[in-house]
């Protein structure tokens, strides 16, 4: 069993999403001590944002002449690591109503036609079936269904669309929402509740 653990928050130890994703990984390790965990910190070790050259290499076998192009190699490795994982745990903060750009750069490396999805006679078919995804979502405000700001939420809705498109239907969401409301007075309680949910996976 292989587990890919991704964090994307720039806040280090102060990050709520990192605490929740860590609790989820710890629970998977508790349930199966033999699980192999591969960690990817997109804040400290970011992938370059997609450019024309990187786009031309998506999903292709790298040739010896790109051995001196670490950004191309890193993109190819990101795809291979994702494809090899059985479980993917992602710590996702909300930045300006959406996800961190570092996480978007990673998504651009794994959403590859012919690798994780394909276009067929009946539309898009996902090729990454059979994986489990856990989204450890953190945000300062309230953006859930029925809230006044629900229409501004492009974090969780986007990620669900991404993974559903590539064939993943086993998606678990653990939310730490409203962390900055009431001046942050409820942050500790909200975070503890989310960590407890992660520990019960």
pLDDT at 56: 75
Q: What is the pLDDT of residues 166-175, one digit of tens each?
A: 999 999 999 9
Q: How many CB atoms lie within 10 A of CB 116?
A: 23
H or E element that contains 14: none
Alpha-carbon span 157 to 168, nearest angstrom: 14
Higher pLDDT, 143 or 50: 143
Phi first, then psi: give them for residue 123, nearest 5 degrees: 105, -150
Distance of CA 184 to the CA centre of its chain: 25
pLDDT band at 62; cut points 50, 70, 90: low
> For tokens 């995804």, what's the residue?
133
pLDDT band at 50; cut points 50, 70, 90: confident
H or E element that contains 187: helix 187-198
Distances (CA, A) of 14 to 91, 138, 155: 13, 12, 20
Neighbouring-strand partners of residue 119: 124
Neighbouring-strand partners of residue 132: 87, 170
The dihedral sign for the CA sequence 100, 14, 42, 7: negative
Q: Which residues of 91-103 are buried (b: 16+ CB within 10 A; e: fewer)?
A: bbbbbeebbbebb
């Amino acid at each position: 069993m292989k587990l890919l653990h991704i964090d994307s928050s720039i806040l280090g130890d102060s990050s709520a999403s990192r605490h929740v994703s860590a609790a989820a990984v710890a629970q998977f390790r508790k349930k199966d001590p033999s699980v192999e965990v591969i960690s990817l910190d997109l804040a400290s070790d970011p992938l370059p944002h997609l450019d024309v050259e990187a786009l031309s290499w998506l999903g292709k076998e790298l040739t010896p002449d790109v051995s001196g192009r670490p950004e191309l190699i890193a993109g190819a490795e990101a795809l291979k690591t994702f494809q090899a994982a059985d479980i993917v745990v992602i710590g996702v903060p909300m930045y300006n109503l959406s996800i961190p750009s570092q996480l978007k750069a990673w998504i651009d490396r794994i959403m590859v036609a012919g690798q994780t999805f394909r276009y067929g006679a009946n539309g898009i078919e996902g090729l990454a079936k059979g994986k489990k995804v856990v989204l450890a979502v953190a945000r300062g405000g309230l953006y859930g269904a029925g809230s006044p700001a629900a229409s501004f939420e492009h974090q969780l809705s986007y990620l669900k669309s991404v993974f559903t498109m590539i064939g993943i239907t086993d998606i678990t969401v653990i939310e730490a929402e409203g962390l900055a409301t009431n001046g942050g007075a409820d942050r500790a309680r909200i975070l503890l509740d989310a960590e407890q949910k992660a520990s019960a996976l």
